[in-house]
A = this chain, B = another copy of it.
Amino acid sequence: MAGAMASTEPDGVMDKIRAYDRELALLKHGTALLQWDQETYMPSAAAEERAEQLGLFETLVHDRVASDELGDLLARAGAGPDSPSGAETLSGLEQALVRHLYREHALARRVPRELVGRLARAASAGQVAWKAAREHDDFEAFTPSLEGLLALSIERAECLGYSEHRYDALLDQYEPYTRTAEVRRVFEELERELVPLAAEIAQAPQVDSAFLYGEYPESRQAEFATRVLEDIGWPADRGRLDCSAHPFTIGLGRDDVRITARYDRNFFNTGFFSILHEAGHGLYELGFEEQIRGSTLADGASLGIHESQSRFWENLVGRSRGFWRRYYPRVRELFPKTLEGVDEERFYCGVNEVKPSLIRVEADEVTYCLHIIMRFRLELALVENSLTVKDLPDAWHEESCRLLGIVPERDADGVLQDVHWAMGGFGYFPTYALGNLYAAQFTETFEREHGALESYLERGEFEPVLGWLQERLHRHGAAKPADELVNSVTGAPLTADAYMRYLRAKFRDIYLTA
Q: Enumerate chain A interface residues (CB-CB to B < 8 A).
A: 23, 26-27, 29-31, 33-34, 37, 41-46, 48-50, 52-53, 56-57, 60, 235-240, 242, 252-256, 294
Contacts and interface: CB of A to CB of B under 8 A. Distances in A.
Given A33-B37, A49-B294, A294-B49, A255 B26 contact: no
Contacts of A50: 253, 256
Contacts of A52: 26
Nearest to A294: B49
Contacts of A31: 30
Contact of A46 (B34, B53, B255): B255
A337 to B, nearest CB: 26
What 5 A-B pairs are tightest by C-beta distance, nearest first? A46-B256, A45-B255, A45-B237, A49-B253, A45-B238
A48 to B, nearest CB: 8
Contacts of A235: 45
Given A30-B56, A43-B240, A43-B255, 10 more contacts: A23-B56, A26-B53, A27-B56, A33-B33, A43-B256, A45-B238, A46-B252, A46-B254, A46-B256, A53-B253
Contacts of A43: 236-240, 255-256
Contacts of A33: 33-34, 37
A27 B493 CA distance: 45
A300 to B, nearest CB: 19
Given A238-B43, A256-B43, A30 B49 contact: no
A178 B45 CA distance: 36
A256 B27 CA distance: 22
Contacts of A23: 56
Contacts of A26: 52-53, 56
A46 B57 CA distance: 21
A44 B253 CA distance: 12
Contacts of A240: 41, 43
A252 B52 CA distance: 12
A235 to B, nearest CB: 7
B46 A253 contact: yes
Nearest to A293: B49
A237 B57 CA distance: 24
Contacts of A57: 30
Contacts of A253: 46, 49-50, 53
Contacts of A255: 43, 45-46, 48-49
Contacts of A27: 56
Q: Point out which of A48, A60, A236, A253 has the most chain B C-beta atoms below 10 A from its C-beta.
A: A253
A58 to B, nearest CB: 11
Find the residue from A33, A43, A45, A235 having the highest chain B CB count within 10 A: A43
Contacts of A48: 255
15 contacts: A23-B56, A26-B56, A30-B30, A30-B31, A30-B56, A33-B34, A41-B41, A43-B240, A44-B237, A45-B256, A46-B253, A46-B254, A46-B255, A48-B255, A50-B256
Contact of A49 (B53, B236, B256): B256
Contacts of A45: 235, 237-238, 255-256
A121 to B, nearest CB: 12
A56 B60 CA distance: 13
Contacts of A29: 53
A49 B237 contact: no
A253 B44 CA distance: 12
A308 to B, nearest CB: 25
